Amino acid sequence: MIKDKAYWNFKKKQAKERIKEYKKVIFSSNTFFRISLTILFTAIFLVLFFACGGTLYFYDTIVVDEFRGQDFQIHAIDVEQGDSTLIKLPNNQTMLIDAGERDMGEHVTAYVKNFLDGEGLEKLDYLVLTHPDSDHIGGAIDVLENIEVDTVFRPKVYTQEEAENMSGQISVSTTSTYAELISLIDEKQCNEVFSDNSISFYAGGCLIEFLSPAEDYYSESNEFSAVIMLTYQTKKFLFMGDADQTIEQSLIDRYGDYLKADVLKVGHHGSNTSSSQQFLEVVDADYALLYSDSNKDLPSSDVLNRLHSMGSEILRTSNLGDYALSILNDEIAYATASTPTIDIALLISIYTLLVIITWGIREKHEYRVKKRRVPDKTLQE
């Protein structure tokens, strides 16, 4: 059946009447008041939510973003009793020095991925495995499985499988973690480089120098630690891995005052086996970076006293959590991760309560008004 013009005119008129009724409801004094108040509460909620860092509740791992976009950044990732340092170099390349224990791999990976996303980057250009200890290289397995890595600097320590094809005096690690990691590096076809003190290169004006190891063989795994000096603008940053006092002395003998640095990543988590008084005096750092777990025995009180006596400001992951450094106006600056400054659960509860009260009280008021206006049929009769 074909609907005629009269039918469609009727439907149009009916639609207009409905719109008028909706407008009456929406713009009636009571309903309009409720909607306006709800919009006001919503606006206040959103302003507080964003202004007080509410979006941080959506992230499991919060990146220190105080220096986002800066050419040069150093991020100390809190891996408890372990080491992990993420560096943004001034040519938009990145370097990760160590990745903590195996159970810290997820945190390190999440931090690195979130950082790369925030900087508009896609991969790690360099991964440095300072030495074979699991609290430095364990988390690298998770990193390699989830993030593209171009070049891996590894210690001249071999797995048992590699040692079968080697001759002469070599160091061999028998740990399954190290074997799994080296196998994964091969599987991912990363460029592998053995760390030694002949390595130096520039990355966007930043000089990267490996000062140690100087030998092919050491009796202790910590002595294999890659000691790295970064020089950018007028500032120098010295990373010691777990190098002990024997290595420190060899560095003093070889480099002397060249070891002077503005920032020192303290060796071996502040253990008394590292950070001799003589070494700290030569380095004379303004800032000392310490990776440690407050539930462990490290850092040593002796090392802390030496650092204090040198006037170094100590930045500890056990106190600060994740933190970052950069160079601003030719000065070292550091910042910690942002945290929400408002209890979102409380804010949501207050918002919900206000909306309920706004609509509930008005509904109750209208019901009473309507009830008073309804004639009492019994009295009328």
- Residues 361-373: pLDDT tens digits? 544 455 455 555 5
For helices 29-51 and 5-26, the axis angle rounded to 10 degrees is 70
Grouping H, G, I as helix, E, B as strand and the rest as coil, residue 5 is helix
Question: Residue 316 carries which DSSP code?
Answer: E
Once rounded to an integer, what is the mean pLDDT over residues 313-326?
Answer: 95
Let me know if domain 55-336 sits in CATH 3.60.15.10. Answer: yes
Name the phi and psi angles at 89, rounded to 5: -90, 155
Average pLDDT score over residue span 233-243: 97
CA distances for 63 relative to 95, 111, 151, 183, 214, angstroms: 16, 6, 24, 30, 35
- 134-145 pLDDT per residue, tens: 999 999 999 999
Average pLDDT over residues 6-23: 69
Distance from C-alpha of 162 to C-alpha of 377, rounded to nearest angstrom: 100
pLDDT for residue 381:
43
Mean pLDDT of 308-320: 94
Let me know the angle formed at the C-alpha of 176 by 174 and 182, rounded to the nearest 5 degrees. Answer: 90
Average pLDDT value over all residues in the chain: 86
- Residue 140 amino acid letter: A
Q: How confident is the model at residue 41 (pLDDT cuts 50, 70, 90)?
A: low
Residue-wise pLDDT tens digits, 247-264: 999 999 999 999 999 999
Say whether the peptide bond before residue 340 is cis (omega within 30 degrees of 0): no
Residue 346: predicted pLDDT:
67
Give the residue ranges of DSSP H helices in 52-175.
Answer: 105-119, 134-137, 140-146, 160-163
Instruction: Report the C-alpha gap between 265 and 270 in whole angstroms.
Output: 10
Measured between alpha carbons, how far is residue 342 from residues 24, 51, 61, 115 in Å?
40, 9, 18, 24
Exposed, middle or buried: residue 193 (CB in 10 Å: 0-12, 13-18, 19+)? middle
Residue 56 has pLDDT above 70, yes or no: no
Beta-bridge partners for 193: 153
Q: Give the phi and the psi of residue 206 in degrees, each rounded to 5.
A: -100, 125
Omega of the bond leading into 155 within 30 degrees of 0 (cis): no
Give the mean pLDDT of 344-372: 62
Angle between helices 29-51 and 344-373 (to 10 degrees): 180
Q: Which of 50-64, 170-184, 366-380 has the weakest average pLDDT?
A: 366-380
In which region does residue 244 sit, left (phi positive, over 0), alpha (psi from -120 to 50) or beta (all else)?
beta
**CA atoms of 223 and 242, how far apart (whole Å):** 7
80 Cβ contact list (under 8 Å, min separation 6):
100, 101, 104, 292, 293, 317, 318
Position 336: which residue type?
A: T
Interval 107-133: pLDDT, tens: 999 999 999 999 999 999 999 999 999
Alpha-carbon distances of 187 from 22, 170, 184, 207, rounded to whole Å? 66, 23, 5, 30
Q: Is the pLDDT reported for residue 38 higher than 90?
A: no
Mean pLDDT of 162-183: 92
pLDDT at residue 332 tops 90? yes
Residues 143 and 268: their CA atoms lie apart, in Å, by 22
Residue 379: per-residue pLDDT: 43
Range with lowest mean pLDDT among 28-32, 76-80, 214-218: 28-32
pTM of the model as a whole: 0.77
Using a pLDDT cut of 70, give the percent of the chain over it: 78
Q: What is the pLDDT of residue 52?
A: 54
Task: Give CA–CA dist 306/314, Å, rounded.
Answer: 11
Q: Is the pLDDT of residue 60 over 50?
A: yes
Least confident of 80-84, 104-108, 155-159, 352-356: 352-356
State mean pLDDT over 63-68: 91
pLDDT of residue 57: 47
* Model pLDDT, residue 9: 74
